[in-house]
Structure 1
Amino acid sequence: MTTRDFQDLLAANAEYQKDFGLTGFDGIARAGVAMITCMDSRIEPLEMIGLNTGDAKIIRTPGGRLTPDALIGCVLGVHLLGVERILVVPHTRCAMASGEDADIVARVADETGEDLSDLTIGASTDQRARLIEDVDLLRTHPHVGERALVGGFLYDVDSGALEQVL
């Protein structure tokens, strides 16, 4: 690996810096919102709920699942970063909903030859059941539940619609 491997991205960043105007933020979620959503590049978390930079904490995980790190983010968000509402937002046509962990592991093995069977991936075809599970965990968590409202939503990547599930 050389610096050249990232040269296009560094050049784009140099252009970005020329008009950079996002200084002065303190890290507090100004709208009191945190969102756990998928790492899918079709999702624009702030835009989908009418917020701007500095308004919310965005936590991205495969499938929009409440992973251990996402849970820590929520705990710190409600205690230190002004978070009062948490949205858990998986989405339609998600690869993490296309099968269970074994299916994803098999797909990776087929496509790359790599064995990921030592990982817990968190895939599930029952997206709504996982959403209910994740929301319930947050709502009943001793460091989150009484400090923030928690809602479960499903985002449609084809229409932009956000449906509240619970």
Structure 2
Amino acid sequence: MSAINRVLEANHKNSLHYDPREVSPHPRMALAVLTCMDTRISLPALGLKVGDAHMIRNAGGIATDDAIRSLVVSHYLLGTNEIMVINHTDCGLMKASESDLHHKISTEAGKPANASVKFHAFHDVNANVREQIEQLYAHTWLKGRVKIRGFVFEVETGRLREVPR
């Protein structure tokens, strides 16, 4: 059975006990998390439950225009007032340069990209966290409106380590 079919089957079972009165688009903790899409960073790993926080995920936990758009919506429309930026050790974006990634994927795909792609490759996880925090603070709709703190999830131990701004 495909992964999608397994998800559909699990969703059907879950829907039998689903109560829309028990969930809300407004995070209980008034928290938004910008993090990497890495599977090791999960709600339970962060001590969170469904409904506690908005999770904005992308490769590298990067404050892209789209991530910022989501965080602005999260704050102004859904009441979040704190943002955690979480990167992690052993990130795939730390293992190759921007040009290496373009070359590898173009070669494997057998053709160049038909639209510009920036991977946001980096080598220093602490510096990358600081860079994302600064990107968020630079946005006039977020600066002074929300608390922003940065962390590294250490995949070797499962612990979060704060990165000072």
Aligned to 2:125: 127
Share of identical aligned residues, percent? Answer: 30
Shift of 1:162: 0.2
Shift of 1:125: 1.6
Q: How many residues are paired up?
A: 162
Q: Mind listing any 5+ residue stretches in structure 1 that lack a counterpart?
A: none
Q: TM-score, normalised by structure 1?
A: 0.85
| SS of 1:90 mapped into structure 2 | strand
| SS of 1:152 mapped into structure 2 | strand
Cα offsets for 1:137-157 (capped at 9, x unmatched)? 212321011111101110012
CA contact (8 A) 2:85 2:151 kept: yes
| SS of 2:60 mapped into structure 1 | helix
Q: Mind listing any 5+ residue stretches in structure 2 that lack a counterpart?
A: none
Aligned to 1:94: 91
Cα offsets for 1:68-94 (capped at 9, x unmatched)? 111011111111111111011011111
Cα offsets for 1:85-118 (capped at 9, x unmatched)? 1011011111111122112122223444343483
Deviates more, 1:116-125 or 1:23-32: 116-125
Shift of 1:160: 0.6
Aligned to 1:63: 60
Matched residues in 2 for 1:93 and 1:160: separation?
12
Cα RMSD for the two superposed structures? 2.2
Matched residues in 2 for 1:73 and 1:79: separation?
10
Aligned to 1:50: 47
